[in-house]
Amino acid sequence: MAVRSELPGPALPVVGAALPASVKAGATHVRSALWLARRRGRPDENGLRILLYHRVSDDEDLLAVTPRRFRRQMELIAAEGYDVVSLEMAANLLDAGVTPQRTVVLNFDDGYLDVAEHALPVLEDLGFPATVFLPTGAIDGTSKLSWYRTQPPLLGWDEIGELDRRGTLRFEAHTVTHPNLLALGEDAARAEIAGSKIALEERLGRPVDAFCYPAGLFGRRDRGFVADAGFRIAVSCEPGVNRPGADLLALRRRQIDARDAMLDFRAKLGGGHDSPLPLRNVYRRMRFGERQPDASGRRLAA
């Protein structure tokens, strides 16, 4: 069984999860209840929200949503009449100046095997596309996801090629070794970003247009390397809604956590969790030396 420590090393997979899990879950439930009281459950339908998952499994892992819960979440999206579109389609809409209405994108980070086992059947039943971000070295087996003592199984290249052609899951880049980009020198950061694009394009035989910053940690420099490498889209771990004018190389995503109750999921889907928990910013500044918002109001790491 994969058990994730509360405070993993520098290649922290998801920043939000670094707060003590019980504190974070408690704060999330309170916020969801306030959202319900304020909005009476009416979602904010304007704009695009990207929901971020890692694993879909019964393993005891803060990054794992159970298969049963995942199915209920997807069925709620369907019942509420949301459009689930691919990341590319979403970027096209934003690019064209269209504000997506009741629209959601689904992301899975790191390429865990259980996404194919437990999420894919649900997605195929409902006709929902999703993007899976792969650290190519971890898939090769030449690097490990550092926060796991025992790493859960990842997809293999043969399965990835087959699934990519099948269409429901589309695979995109997530560096080579899943490092904290902020801790790397220029050459290393550039190699991680561009290297994953080249490796993945070779494997898939098609252009790879989207990139995911490991743990959402990046600075202006890294965003520049992502642009230089030829990516059109990149996703962060900053919560929030995406509307026309959003930086396509820093799209916002909201993580769905293992401890989210259905009300939390509804609130996240409906915009009740579009800003980060206050504690998370304090924690990030202490841990990563993150700066205050820059002049444009966009939060960028150092």
Minimum distance from CB of 174 to Zn ion (Å)? 6
Q: Which stretch binds Zn ion (CB under 5 A): 8-16, 78-86, 188-196, 249-257?
A: 8-16
Restricted to residues 9-38, the positions that interact with Zn ion (CB under 5 A) are 13
Interstrand relation of 130-134 and 103-109 (parallel, antiparallel or unpaired): parallel
Minimum distance from CB of 244 to Zn ion (Å)? 27
Distance CA 273, CA 32 (A): 8
What is the end-to-end Cα distance of the chain in Å, rounded? Answer: 36
Restricted to residues 79-118, the positions that interact with Zn ion (CB under 5 A) are 109-110
Q: Which is nearer to Zn ion, 61 or 110 (CB)?
A: 110
Minimum distance from CB of 178 to Zn ion (Å)? 6
Minimum distance from CB of 110 to Zn ion (Å)? 4
Minimum distance from CB of 249 to Zn ion (Å)? 17
Q: Which stretch binds Zn ion (CB under 5 A): 6-14, 70-78, 219-227, 242-250?
A: 6-14
Residue nearest to Zn ion (CB): 109
Residues 172, 134 contacting (CB under 8 angstroms) = yes
Selection from 104, 86, 111 nearest residue 253 by Cα: 104
Residues 178, 146 contacting (CB under 8 angstroms) = yes
Does 164 interact with Zn ion (rule: CB under 5 A)? no
Q: Which is nearer to Zn ion, 8 or 13 (CB)?
A: 13
Q: Which is nearer to Zn ion, 109 or 114 (CB)?
A: 109
Q: Which tokens is 140 given?
A: 């090769």
Minimum distance from CB of 99 to Zn ion (Å)? 29
Q: Which is nearer to Zn ion, 212 or 300 (CB)?
A: 212
Q: Which is nearer to Zn ion, 73 or 236 (CB)?
A: 236
Residues 23, 31 contacting (CB under 8 angstroms) = no
Environment class of 187 (CB within 10 Å of its CB; exposed 0-12, middle 13-18, buried 19+): exposed
Minimum distance from CB of 177 to Zn ion (Å)? 11
Instruction: Give CA separation, 258 vs 24, 68, 106, 227, in Å.
Output: 11, 12, 16, 33
Per-residue contact track with Zn ion, 191 to 230, x per CB under 5 A? ----------------------------------------
Distance CA 44, CA 104 (A): 12
Q: Which is nearer to Zn ion, 13 or 195 (CB)?
A: 13
Residues 181, 217 contacting (CB under 8 angstroms) = yes
List the alpha helices (DSSP H) in the chain: 21-39, 67-79, 87-95, 113-114, 120-126, 136-140, 157-166, 186-204, 220-228, 262-269, 278-288
Q: Which is nearer to Zn ion, 155 or 267 (CB)?
A: 155
Residues 181, 173 contacting (CB under 8 angstroms) = no
Q: Which stretch binds Zn ion (CB under 5 A): 7-15, 231-239, 253-261, 279-287?
A: 7-15
Helix, coil or strand: residue 148:
strand
Minimum distance from CB of 35 to Zn ion (Å)? 27
Q: Which is nearer to Zn ion, 110 or 192 (CB)?
A: 110
Interface with Zn ion (CB under 5 A): 13, 109-110
